[in-house]
Structure 1
Amino acid sequence: MQTKHKLASIALSVAMGTVMSLTAVSAFAQVMVGGAPMLASKDIIDNAVNSKDHTTLVAAVKAAGLVDTLKGPGPFTVFAPTNAAFAALPPGTVDTLLKPENKGMLTGILTYHVVAGKMDAAAIGKAIAEGKGTATLKTVEGGTLTAKMVGGKVMVTDAKGGAATVTIPDVYQSNGVIHVVDKVLLPK
């Protein structure tokens, strides 16, 4: 009789673990950004084009010729500025950057928002803890970003001292993770 109870207990534990795992997977699929669900089964570009909050970023990625790169296998960690973040730049900046003759500068700014590898909030938090309060993240552009915790949120500081707050962390993609940020980060 005791064996039956143990087996029933084990079966219940396995069933509960399966339900919890399915709930976690479902939670990944239900992250909403810009009014659209961000599906972990889609790549960075396929998700970003659906976000109403990232139309400027998508236009910039297209103008810079980075679509194929960000659809690639990665993995990538992208700090994705919102439309409001781009709008906060000095007037005319975005229009100037989108001109074909400024493709190199635009590419540099966009790749400065990308870190090779998949660093979710837990990995960034661990790096911050190991760095005794700050973590240095090497960008694909070649520069660095500095991450730290401020008020329970990750803040990322660029080479010019500008700081962006991660407003939506851990938007998982098939080829990495996006962290939505409220400012455009600028390299040297």
Structure 2
Amino acid sequence: MSCQDKENREDSNVDLIPAEEKSVEDTAQDRPMERSYTLAKMRENNELSSFTQELQQSGLEEEFEGKEGIYTFFAPSNAAFDRIPARDLERDSSEDAVETRRDRLRYYMVEGDMTLGYLREQIRTSEDDAYEFETALGEKLWATEEGGDIVLTDVLGNKARILTSEMDEYRGAYHVIDNVLQPGEE
């Protein structure tokens, strides 16, 4: 299924409802809204094995076990991870190195259910054709439309195109992107 097909389905079926705007009745009705559900769905996608392995090894995945809430992940494909220099992937097990890896992964997470349709609407209604939003790390990403595709730009100017999207109306979404994004200056 193409991104366009997913977008058409999402536009007609799902609106973004930030977690803080859901009513008590909505939350109770939608249970279980486990963040781990989206992580489990990502693990099933062979194109994301490097990203999901990184989530698991960093310990960040454990933080989600049994917790409620909806998150959207912008997950780099395996091909994107393959372009990272080997020295940047070395497994330093010091607490500082592990926390740095967790922070990098939080940069790919956004609270709420951010569909392609929602992103397109925000881009089209923005003054400068760029939708700025904050990640779970507290840093910014910008979404723009280029040639019909949604492109994310990080604070350093790196760009990543959304290749495919998967979502569940009550449990979150993930988008496969074609590049690795970086939070802040290293």
Per the normalisation by structure 1, the TM-score is 0.72
User: For 1:100-135, what per-residue CA distance to the aligned partner results, in whole angstroms no more than 9, with x for missing partners?
Assistant: 221111111100011111110111111111213100
Indicate the residue corresponding to 1:52 in structure 2: 46
* Alignment partners' CA distance in 2, 1:54 and 1:92: 21
Verify: 1:120 aligned to 2:115, yes or no.
yes
User: For 1:54-91, what per-residue CA distance to the aligned partner results, in whole angstroms no more than 9, with x for missing partners?
Assistant: 11111110122121344533211110111111111123
Which residue type is aligned with residue 103 of structure 1? V
Indicate the residue corresponding to 1:139 in structure 2: 135
CA contact (8 A) 1:64 1:107 kept: yes
Indicate the residue corresponding to 1:99 in structure 2: 92
Q: 5+ unaligned residues in a row in structure 2: which ranges?
A: 1-8, 14-33
Indicate the residue corresponding to 2:174 in structure 1: 178
Verify: 1:63 aligned to 2:51, yes or no.
no
Give the paired residue count.
148
1:3-22 mapped onto 2 (5 Å cutoff): none
**Closer, same or farther: CA 50–118 of 1 in aligned 2, 3 Å:** same
Which residue type is aligned with residue 87 of structure 2? G
**Closer, same or farther: CA 178–70 of 1 in aligned 2, 3 Å:** farther
- Runs ≥4 in structure 1, deviation > 3 angstroms? 68-72
CA contact (8 A) 1:76 1:115 kept: yes
The worse-fitting range, judged by mean Cα deviation, of 42-51 and 103-112 is 42-51
CA contact (8 A) 1:146 1:157 kept: yes
* Aligned partner (choices 143, 146, 149) of residue 150 of structure 1: 146
CA contact (8 A) 1:63 1:100 kept: no
3-state SS in 2 of match to 1:100 = coil
* Alignment partners' CA distance in 2, 1:181 and 1:76: 16
* Aligned partner (choices 168, 171, 184) of residue 164 of structure 2: 168
CA contact (8 A) 1:44 1:70 kept: no
RMSD (Å), alpha carbons: 2.2
Which residue type is aligned with residue 182 of structure 1? D
* Alignment partners' CA distance in 2, 1:110 and 1:93: 14
Per the normalisation by structure 2, the TM-score is 0.73
CA contact (8 A) 2:42 2:174 kept: no
Bigger relative contact order, structure 1 or 2 (CA pairs below 8 A, ≥6 apart):
2
3-state SS in 2 of match to 1:92 = helix
3-state SS in 2 of match to 1:80 = strand
**Closer, same or farther: CA 69–175 of 1 in aligned 2, 3 Å:** farther
* Alignment partners' CA distance in 2, 1:146 and 1:54: 22
* Alignment partners' CA distance in 2, 1:149 and 1:67: 31
